Amino acid sequence: MYKILLAEDDADMRFIYSRMSVWKDSGFVITKEVSNGRDALAAVKSEDFDLVLTDIRMPFIDGIELLEKINELGINVCVAFISSYDEFEYARKGLVLGAFDYLLKPVNEEKLGSMLARVKEKLAEQQSQNVCADYVLSALQAVGRSNDDSFTQDICTYFSNTSCRDISVEQAAEHFGFSRDYFGKMFRRHIGESFSRFSTLVKIEYAKELLWQSGLKAYEISEELGYSSADYFTKVFKETTGISPAQYRQQI
């Protein structure tokens, strides 16, 4: 279940929200309710939430100020606003500041459910990127490098944002605005390996995680990683790790 902080100064509205079935149906749960922006800020500082659903007009700190302070503190949480028609300019400013969405009062459960589905997609994508970032760092360690220069940091971010999908050197070069040859030389100088070799290392780190955490068969992992066949995946895995996927799974 994804955790929600509900910030609403109207007690009657908080009761109405608590009675809605859309939360559970969408895989969310309201784990904390507060009645003002000051308490909301204290809550996000001390607890982890996946979504902050906040009224715009609240005592002490309004919704816009709350979002500004969350951004200043670098707290990674999705923020959505609840607003009235006459607060549209407020809501628009919130979207500029990075709010995920805003809902108009009175809140419609169907529209709320639609928003929660999109929030869930965003959170799942972020989780995938975070996990992939771990694979990228493991691959860097395998080649004896660290992400201590800007080029390497940009490369790590790029691989993480692609969620470990199969990407070509041409796609990467285009993303960074370089020619294929120049990008390849830059990559080898900073990373110590060719782009294709490093990409393989990242994918094998992903494969290790799948072998450890999932019950997927070799051919299913092969498809997930974008390999043409399970035999080719097994060959690449063995060349990289010294053992087959089956042997690796037996050792875990």
Looking at residue 243, what is its pLDDT?
Answer: 92
Q: State yes or no: pLDDT of 134 exceeds 70.
A: yes
**β-bridge pairing 78-83 and 51-55:** parallel
Looking at residue 164, what is its pLDDT?
Answer: 65
In the chain, what percentage of residues exceed pLDDT 90? Answer: 34
Residue range 147-167, pLDDT digits in tens: 888 888 898 888 888 766 678
**DSSP-derived secondary structure letter, 108:** P
Taken in order 95, 99, 104, 110, is the CA torsion positive or negative? positive
> What pTM was computed for the model?
0.64
Please report, for residues 38, 70, 71, 122, 227, the alpha-carbon distance to residue 74 in angstroms, rounded to integers and kept in the order given. 17, 6, 5, 18, 38
Residue range 180-204, pLDDT digits in tens: 999 999 999 999 999 999 999 998 9
> What phi and psi values does residue 57 have, to the nearest 5 degrees?
-95, 110
Q: State yes or no: pLDDT of 210 exceeds 90.
A: no
Q: Domains of the chain, with CATH numbers?
A: 2-107 (3.40.50.2300), 125-251 (1.10.10.60)
**DSSP-derived secondary structure letter, 110:** H
